[in-house]
Amino acid sequence: MGCITSKHGGGRPVTDSPVPVVRKNGHGFTLSSSSSKHQPERLEVDKDDEKLGENGKIINPKKSRDLRKSKRDGSGRKSGSFSFKLGFSQRFVEAEQVAAGWPAWLSSAAGEAVHGWVPLQADAFEKLDKIGQGTYSNVFKAREVETGRLVALKKVRFDNFQPESIRFMAREITILRRLNHPNVMKLEGVITSRFSSTIYLVFEYMEHDLAGLSSCPDINFTEAQVKCYMKQLLMGLEHCHLRGVMHRDIKASNILVNNQGILKLGDFGLANILTSKNKNQLTSRVVTLWYRPPELLMGSTSYEVSVDLWSVGCVFAEVLMGKPILKGRTEVEQLHKIFKLCGSPPDEYWKKMKLPHSTMFKPQHPYESCLQQRCKDIPSTALDLLEILLSVEPHKRGTASSSLMSEVNLR
């Protein structure tokens, strides 16, 4: 459908960039260029764990067996409702996972995340280059030894085996296992070590991200290419939302593109599963500032998937215009920029939403939207969709499905 690929002069692979890049990529890391190349090395655990040898493990869903089918309670009876029976069942599952090769610290804190997956040997991969780093993670370009296929290894360290930190990462694993779509990054495995506070998440390798492509001065997206990318993004997001998953950190650098023009939504580190129980007790401290919707900036803890649609609108504008459209330095400045561009909400909105910081942020005089004037050079059908996605009232943003059916004709 006209998506840009390397043959069209696409953005360079992140490992070949001649200058440092300091944005967060959809593998969940900050990209950093490296001019030095080195010989491949077999994947190892941390220095503290080198004595473990074969204890480092990697799981692979393709070769896994469902432990629930192959191993059963010797009594052959269903678990009772008594607490001691439930406790025994939990201990049995943990013992089963440890016997399969999982470390006890992971099984006890978040065994449900890896339940049913069987570990393989850690030396199935060899590191090629370190391609990025973040506060809690490093990412490596690696090769699968048996097939030669390239992958990305996201290395995450936990402090002192703290259960909360482990469960936070386990939530990302659980969510990724729930999703299965061509436009969503696929988790292919997890490497663990019995005594290290580190795990590796194994993903397919993607050469580019949308932030790098859209900011490249040599690239001017055609209308067909923009449609192609937006269709893929919205189809991946539609799948997430239908599966009850809010991404909560959609931005151009978390949207990855390979050399064939296939786009995939990545980095589910802030994602959550929306349920009736947690609907009114969510955190507002999510979504990168330039892509954060106004209700989160005003402290809302009761929101739905519409927060993702706002972020998609910001990405849409960025692809169309070649740069981020809302670049605030603080939360107050970001909200002010939103109201100046998209207009401020009507009085009914402030009364209905009951936002924690609404009185602090409500402008003294209402703003009218100037989005059409700011984006006068983009096609009218694209502008219509952009106005919907960047509605300051969440219920007016529609859904990923309705955006796909818009006059832009993304279907």
Query: What are 264's two structure tokens?
Result: 């995939």
- In sequence order, what are the residues at sequence separation of 6 or more whose Cβ sits closer than 8 angstroms to the Cβ of residue 360? none
Q: How far apart are CA 176 and CA 180, in angstroms?
A: 8
Answer for the pair 34, 144: CB distance below 8 angstroms, yes or no: no
Question: Could you give the maximum distance between any two Cα atoms of the chain, in Å?
Answer: 72
Instruction: Let me know if 249 is a catalytic residue.
Output: yes
Helical segments of 63-162, H only: 67-70, 83-100, 104-114
Residue of 186, 68, 39 whose CA lies nearest to 126: 39
Q: How far apart are CA 182 and CA 177, in angstroms?
A: 14
48, 49, 159, 249: the catalytic one is 249
154 is annotated as contributing to ligand binding:
yes
Kindly report the length of the chain.
411
Q: How far apart are CA 209 and CA 398, in angstroms?
A: 26
Query: What are 121's two structure tokens?
Result: 């040997």
Q: Is 284 helix (H, G, I), strand (E, B) or coil?
A: coil
Q: How far apart are CA 4 and CA 219, in angstroms?
A: 9
Residue of 39, 49, 63 whose CA lies nearest to 143: 39
In the chain, count H helices and then E strands.
14, 15
Residues contributing to the annotated binding site for ATP: 154
Binding site, annotated residues? 154
Instruction: Give me the active site residues, please.
Output: 249
